[in-house]
């Protein structure tokens, strides 16, 4: 049966897990929405405290997602009290017409932190399966205690966001995500200040990749950052780990590189003053000239660090006897019908090509069914079935929060024109499993069978040429599922750069608003307990097929790859 994965709409191009707010930072409309949220919350909690009503409000609708069934009785009491306190504080600030005080932000952070802890405790499969769950269970409590100790450092919206992000990222699970909502009025992509140049992660080192024309004196392009204020660059990275992403992963270090020397208002790290750089064999200390960051400067600086090449779902001839199949994402809004139609019309030529490049650069995941259908088209059902990597059964955490989200997801997927009738029936089947487990008081349910040893089958391979999977650091979630499947096919190889990595815990449950309404939260509710690929293990190309150039040099990387394959 096909694996079903929900579209991961929370991921951004640079995988920093901080979507841009609907309203711009410091926009007056954001203040209006914040006040309205506060008023609604304040009225709801104060006027209905006796009957115990509490709501999390999403910007598009009012959704009762914070019920006691979601959190458990203990968690519900905690969240209810926290939400009541936050609602009163935020409401008073809004009514007064002034900004939230540090005490307000600390109260919001405390309430939302507790909600995150309880949601994970009561809904995550990592609490009920043994595989790859030790760190999760330890960090659930240790990280929670550490974050609570840091509450006094929260003075504003940015401190609030970084506190929650530090806790969420500490689980080392790319499916555990927290993001500011519109009422928070903050975007972490745009820094408050920068020194006029940006850093990129290249071949294990942090080097200058961009200099503003407005910066008169700064390290030269290619200069390597050695450290700042007497601390080695490895220490700087460690200090920013969790706050700027999971920097235990190389993909995380790549994505976070430009933010090493950008000021985001994070109260948990110090802004560097003097940094040492090495260039042409000489080391020099540079005093950083911090200044405000104009968007016209920051966007090209970030692009130089992490790349931003616009790609689209497509298949075309590339050079002599080569086909280039580009899959920049696996979301439901792409024209998959048109894409598959083009593959089918050119299938004979694609199968006869000397090289077939499947370009996955920028692909942060989505629904794995799209990759599975492409595999069936290229290699045929028989060969895919014979080579299918045995991931065994899945264990699903049965809870009302997970079930409620699956109800919403099933309704949306029923209208998705890209899914087959069988795929849609699978959503309904999973919903019925949720209902059976909850009715029987079971904490989990299983789907699929334990991997069995199958008699070797050798269907013919209809693809005569070499299939190359071109990846970059963005490849995560369903993109990694595609890698699991496609690398199991004959005569395939990886090129480009290392991928990102995920855990065995997936299928996002999305909580649109935590008690303060200032953040949303997501986490996995399914575990692949026999998946051969361990948690947080990326795919890495061979040295020969590793791209060392700029992530923004699309033409250069294409030319390099085709020449390397001759």
**One digit per residue, pLDDT tens: the chain, 566 residues?**
333 433 332 222 223 333 322 222 222 223 322 333 333 333 333 233 222 222 232 222 223 223 333 334 344 444 444 444 444 444 444 333 457 999 999 999 999 999 999 999 999 999 999 999 999 999 999 999 999 999 999 999 999 999 999 999 999 999 999 999 999 999 887 899 999 999 999 999 999 999 998 887 899 999 999 999 999 999 999 999 999 999 999 999 999 999 999 999 999 999 999 999 999 999 999 999 999 988 888 999 999 999 888 899 999 998 777 999 999 999 988 999 999 999 999 999 999 999 999 999 999 999 899 999 999 999 999 999 999 987 789 999 999 999 999 999 999 989 888 888 888 999 999 999 999 999 999 999 999 876 555 556 689 999 999 999 999 999 999 999 999 999 999 999 999 999 999 999 999 999 999 999 999 999 999 999 999 999 999 999 999 999 999 998 999 999 999 999 98
Evaluated on CA atoms 473, 479, 481, 484, the torsion sign reads negative
Phi first, then psi: what are they for 358, rounded to 5°? -105, 105
Contact 493, 529 (CB under 8 A): no
Return d(Cα 165, Cα 147) in angstroms, integer: 10
Query: Nearest Cα to 225, choosing from 234, 217, 216?
Result: 234
Q: What torsion, rounded to 10 degrees, do the Cα atoms 421, 423, 428, 434 define? A: 170
Please tell me the distance from the alpha carbon of residue 343 to that of residue 349, in angstroms, as a whole number: 10
Helix (H) or strand (E) holding 259, with range, is none
- Residue 184 and residue 33: Cα distance in Å, rounded? 10
């Amino acid at each position: 049966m096909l694996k079903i994965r929900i579209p991961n709409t929370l991921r951004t191009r640079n995988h920093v897990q901080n979507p841009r707010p609907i309203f711009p930072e410091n926009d007056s409309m954001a203040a209006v929405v914040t006040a309205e949220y506060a008023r609604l919350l304040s009225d709801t909690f104060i006027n209905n405290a006796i009957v115990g009503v509490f709501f999390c409000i999403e910007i598009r609708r009012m959704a009762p997602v914070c019920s006691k069934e979601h959190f458990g009785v203990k968690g519900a009491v905690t969240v209810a009290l926290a939400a009541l306190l936050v609602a009163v504080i935020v409401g008073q600030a809004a009514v007064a017409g002034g900004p939230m005080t540090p005490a307000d932000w600390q109260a919001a952070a405390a309430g939302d932190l507790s909600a995150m802890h309880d949601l994970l405790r009561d809904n995550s499969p990592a609490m009920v399966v043994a595989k790859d769950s030790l760190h999760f269970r330890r960090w659930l409590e240790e990280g929670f205690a550490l974050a609570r100790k840091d509450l006094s450092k929260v003075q504003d919206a940015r401190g609030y966001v970084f506190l929650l992000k530090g806790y969420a990222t500490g689980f080392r699970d790319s499916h555990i995500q927290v993001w500011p909502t519109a009422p928070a009025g903050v975007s972490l992509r745009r820094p408050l200040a920068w020194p006029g140049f940006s850093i990129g992660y290249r071949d294990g080192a942090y080097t200058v990749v961009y200099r503003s024309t407005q910066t008169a004196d700064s390290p030269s392009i290619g200069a390597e950052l050695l450290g700042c204020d007497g601390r080695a660059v490895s220490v700087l990275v460690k200090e920013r780990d969790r706050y700027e992403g999971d920097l235990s992963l190389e993909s995380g270090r790549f994505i976070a590189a430009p933010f090493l020397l950008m000021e985001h208002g994070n109260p948990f790290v110090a802004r560097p003053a003097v940094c040492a750089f090495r260039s042409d064999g000489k080391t020099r200390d540079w005093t950083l000239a911090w200044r405000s960051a104009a968007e016209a400067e920051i966007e090209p600086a970030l692009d130089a660090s992490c790349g931003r090449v616009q790609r689209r779902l497509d298949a075309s001839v590339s050079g002599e006897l080569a086909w280039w199949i580009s899959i920049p994402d696996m979301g439901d809004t792409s024209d998959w019908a048109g894409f598959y139609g083009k593959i089918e019309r050119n299938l004979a030529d694609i199968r006869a090509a000397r090289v077939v490049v499947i370009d996955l650069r920028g692909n942060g995941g989505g629904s794995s069914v799209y990759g599975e259908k492409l595999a069936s088209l290229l290699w045929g059902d028989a060969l895919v079935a014979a080579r299918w990597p045995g991931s065994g059964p899945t264990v699903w955490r049965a809870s009302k929060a997970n079930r409620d989200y699956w109800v919403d997801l099933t309704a949306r997927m029923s209208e998705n024109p890209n899914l087959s009738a069988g795929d849609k029936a699978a959503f309904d089947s999973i919903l019925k499993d949720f209902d059976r487990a909850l009715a029987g008081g079971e904490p989990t349910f299983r789907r699929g069978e334990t991997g069995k040893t199958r008699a070797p089958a050798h269907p013919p391979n209809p693809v005569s040429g070499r299939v190359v999977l071109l990846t970059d650091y963005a490849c995560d979630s369903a993109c990694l599922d595609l890698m699991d499947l496609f690398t199991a096919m004959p005569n395939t190889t990886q090129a480009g750069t290392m991928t990102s990595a995920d855990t065995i815990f997936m299928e996002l449950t999305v909580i649109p608003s935590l008690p303060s309404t200032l953040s949303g939260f997501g986490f996995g509710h399914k575990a692949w307990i026999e998946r051969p690929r361990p948690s947080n293990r990326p795919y890495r190309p061979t040295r020969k097929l590793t791209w060392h150039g700029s992530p923004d040099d699309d033409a250069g990387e294409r030319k390099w790859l085709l020449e390397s394959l001759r």
